[in-house]
Amino acid sequence: MYKATIFVTLKESVLDPQGVAVKGTLHTMGYTEVSDVRIGKRLEVSLEAANQEEAEVAVTAMCQKLFSNPVIENFRFDLEEV
């Protein structure tokens, strides 16, 4: 059994409207020292695989096909045997 911890983030060049909204809320709450907020996803996926490489191939495909939009997002993941 393997566990992948996946991070999906917006590419640097992409505007983050959700981040802008959260920054505004933080300023309203008095945290005016905040200059930027970027919001992404963190996923944990547990999966069976014969070996590390097979798990890596499967998780990469899941990231490309489902978890991230390659046009505006990047992904990376850590993989551990559990």
Q: Examine residue 12 and tell whether it contacts a second copy (CB under 8 A).
A: no
Q: Examine residue 40 and tell whether it contacts a second copy (CB under 8 A).
A: yes
Q: Examine residue 49 and tell whether it contacts a second copy (CB under 8 A).
A: yes
Q: Examine residue 33 and tell whether it contacts a second copy (CB under 8 A).
A: yes
CA distance 73 to 80: 23
Binding letters toward a second copy, positions 62-81, x by CB under 8 A: x--xx---------------
CA 52 to chain centre: 21
CA distance 65 to 24: 33
